Structure 1
Amino acid sequence: MSSSSTGRGPARTVVITGGNSGIGLGCAAAVLGSRDGPWHVVIASRDASRSRAAVDRLARAAGAAHTVEAMSLDLASLASVRTFAAELTDRLTSGGLPPLYALVCNAGVQAGTTVTRTADGFESTFGINHLGHFLLVNELLPALKAPARVVVVASGTHDPAETAGLPAPAWTGVPALARGDLGPSAASDGPFAFGQRRYATSKLANVYFTYALARRLPDGVTANAYDPGLVLGTSLQRNHSAPVRFAATYVLPRVRPLLRRFLTDKIYTIEESGGALAWLATSPEPAGITGKYFHQREAIPSSDESYDTARAEELWDDSVKLTALSGSAASELAGE
């Protein structure tokens, strides 16, 4: 890896969580194939073997001026998040990496039919999708010097108006969400709704977090949320039952045209949504835009519920407390 510059300008670093698969991988490929740059892409993931394979694949297809590497990050462990952030900051400070230009908070999980917990005792969907990224962004804030961007991958599932028939978010107090306790509307959820509602609620948290972050960032550093639409062929359903995983991986991608015609037109390939995510993170066009919610390359309204500023500030304050908890205190929070 070299941090030298070319005629197109100085090299810059883009960090992509979960960049070894799905739209994260699509985003990395789009950045490394762009005519802008040069870019140095850091694939941040807990799966070392998949990350190495992704880096090899990306490096072979990357433009001559671009570079890519993998670093270990487990968003289910606050200790891992702090270790990753410290290592990245040290390398940025010493000149071992080009300046940090974009942090893409893409990695995410969707619960299966039972509650699972992170290393710190938090319900996994909320702990990984929100708290892990919340801590990561805050740990890297000193390194995000203008011009810089934070992009948080949210989802249209946070908006009941966009997902008629699917479980809507069931927001409750933040400590309760961290324990895995949803609001009253989740009381009678069956196996399918169990994971879907937790995912939708965590994605609402992503939007709240993005808006609260944008209000706190200095001039020249932006934060925007991104809805990738329904992207087929990813590993998001890896915690579901075998039939659901089979359908998501092998059946639904083959009937994409029918789904677009009869279900929703917001169905995309990994390349389409990954490319739009790369555009939001690195393209000159959205420079200076902050505190917005994007679908593909267009800023659109998020859900009515997502504009509750008081709730977003409560989420921020409680997340500060939760991510500073010791291991034993987090276990108490989880009721263990």
Structure 2
Amino acid sequence: MPTILITGGHSGIGLAAVRQLAAKGNDIVLAGRSSGRMQPAADELRARYRASVTMLTLDTSSLASVRAAAAQLHKMREAGEIEPLDAILCNAGGRFDGDVSYSPDGYETTFATNCLGHFLLVELLLASLVEGGRVVYTASGTHDSQSTDGKLVGAAVEPDATALANNGKNGVKALSAGKRYSSSKLCTVMYSYELDRRLRRSDSSVVSIAFDPGSVPETAFLRGMPKPVQWISGTPVMKGVSKRIGVITSDMEFSGASLAALATDPDYADRSGEYFQANDGNLSAVRSAQLSYDKRRARKLWDDSKQLVHLTANEEPACLR
């Protein structure tokens, strides 16, 4: 059976996606920080859809955890416990409000969690993808500083991996939580495009897609905000206001179904290097921020990220060099 690995598939949009994938007969690898939090989702998928579900402990904020998870997956593959991967869904992430904080590796938490962990994971698992397999990155419309989403959250800054990883250090004023988030999502879109360019140069059939699920108040995205803010964001009135001012809006089920479709539907098998957006019940390819298409910046982002995750020659697939 087709096998899909997803980070953050035990809640929110990720869970909505894996329900769709499991219902269609896909095997699921749930990758997340806590087996206790993943267990209810795994139990549901097995009972409701008779799906084969494997849990993989993985914290994208920790490079050691990512490496351990990749090694564990390779062991399971060699033992015949799971099939080769048909898709890797880089879906986990978050906005970390409050004072700037740092990962176990000493990198700013937002950039470490949303960017570096997934960057390393794709490097380590790309060889486990089948021919024509897919990598789908969950991005955000906030990455575009010219969009309403970007202006409301905080305009993304220069996609400089080294600066973002060390944000707030050495006397430099830390970016706001919103800017840290939107900048991480700009980098996510650029990783997707740069991966596509490298895959095409090597004649690989693997597909790389960026996905904006839209603003989905039902998710835990605002969990760090005051309870009244969390409540009002999900009301019909607020949703209506958001649409009128140009915020890209969606709901949990549609965004989850869209992510599942991008991962497996034949319609997207030849759409590598594109950016798809779920907006008010429609999934369509749209233009991302102008800056996201800058090839020079993307190459630097990629190469600097390799240095930050301490990628070795043995870890990097030949097709990505």
Instruction: Give the TM interval when normalised to the shorter protein.
Output: 0.7 to 0.9
Q: What is the one-letter code of the residue matched to 2:273?
A: G
Residues 163-201 of structure 1: CA distance to partner in whole angstroms, max 9, x if unpaired?
26321101163211101159xxx9697xxxx11111000
Q: What is the alpha-carbon distance in structure 1 between the residues aligned to residue 11 and residue 94 of structure 2?
A: 13
Q: What is the alpha-carbon distance in structure 1 between the residues aligned to residue 71 and residue 45 of structure 2?
A: 25
Structure-1 residue corresponding to 2:13: 23
Q: Relative to structure 1, is the Cα distance of residues 325 and 216 closer, same or farther in structure 2, using a 3 angstrom cutoff?
A: closer
Structure-2 residue corresponding to 1:178: 165
Q: What is the alpha-carbon distance in structure 2 between the residues aligned to residue 212 and residue 188 of structure 1?
A: 27
Structure-1 residue corresponding to 2:147: 162
Q: What is the alpha-carbon distance in structure 2 between the residues aligned to residue 143 and residue 228 of structure 1?
A: 26
Q: What is the alpha-carbon distance in structure 1 between the residues aligned to residue 239 and residue 57 of structure 2?
A: 37
Structure-2 residue corresponding to 1:272: 254
- Picking from 28, 41, 53, the partner of 1:68 is 53
Q: Equivalent pairs: percent with the same residue?
A: 39
Structure-2 residue corresponding to 1:307: 293
Kept in 1, the 8 Å contact 2:233–2:239? The answer is: no
Structure-2 residue corresponding to 1:78: 63
Q: Relative to structure 1, is the Cα distance of residues 269 and 91 closer, same or farther in structure 2, using a 3 angstrom cutoff?
A: same
Moved more, 281-290 or 92-101: 92-101
Alignment of 1:1-336 (within 5 A): 11-34=1-24, 38-62=25-49, 64=50, 66-163=51-148, 165-166=151-152, 167-171=154-158, 173-181=160-168, 194-217=176-199, 218-238=203-223, 240-241=224-225, 243=226, 245-248=227-230, 250-255=231-236, 257-259=239-241, 261-264=243-246, 266-296=248-278, 297-324=283-310
Q: What is the alpha-carbon distance in structure 1 between the residues aligned to residue 162 and residue 9 of structure 2?
A: 29
Kept in 2, the 8 Å contact 1:78–1:132? The answer is: yes
Q: Secondary structure at the match of 1:267?
A: coil
Q: What is the alpha-carbon distance in structure 2 between the residues aligned to residue 310 and residue 172 of structure 1?
A: 11
CA shift, 1:137, in A, is 0.3
Structure-1 residue corresponding to 2:319: none
> What value does the CA root-mean-square deviation take over the aligned residues?
2.1
Gaps of 5+ in 2: 313-321
Q: Secondary structure at the match of 1:180?
A: coil
Q: Secondary structure at the match of 2:131?
A: coil
Q: What is the alpha-carbon distance in structure 2 between the residues aligned to residue 228 and residue 213 of structure 1?
A: 20
Q: Secondary structure at the match of 2:40?
A: helix
**Number of paired residues?**
300
Residues 136-177 of structure 1: CA distance to partner in whole angstroms, max 9, x if unpaired?
000001112312000000100011232263211011632111
Q: What is the alpha-carbon distance in structure 2 between the residues aligned to residue 259 and residue 16 of structure 1?
A: 33
Gaps of 5+ in 1: 1-10, 327-336
Kept in 1, the 8 Å contact 2:148–2:247? The answer is: no
TM-score of the two chains, using structure 2 as the length reference? 0.87
CA shift, 1:325, in A, is 7.7
Q: Secondary structure at the match of 1:214?
A: helix
Kept in 2, the 8 Å contact 1:226–1:277? The answer is: yes
Q: What is the alpha-carbon distance in structure 1 between the residues aligned to residue 246 and residue 48 of structure 2?
A: 32
Kept in 1, the 8 Å contact 2:100–2:168? The answer is: no
Residues 198-235 of structure 1: CA distance to partner in whole angstroms, max 9, x if unpaired?
10000000011111111122422110100001011111
Residues 59-84 of structure 1: CA distance to partner in whole angstroms, max 9, x if unpaired?
2322x4x3223211011111110010
Residues 258-299 of structure 1: CA distance to partner in whole angstroms, max 9, x if unpaired?
235533463121111011000000111101221111113311
Q: What is the alpha-carbon distance in structure 2 between the residues aligned to residue 252 and residue 58 of structure 1?
A: 29
Kept in 2, the 8 Å contact 1:229–1:295? The answer is: yes
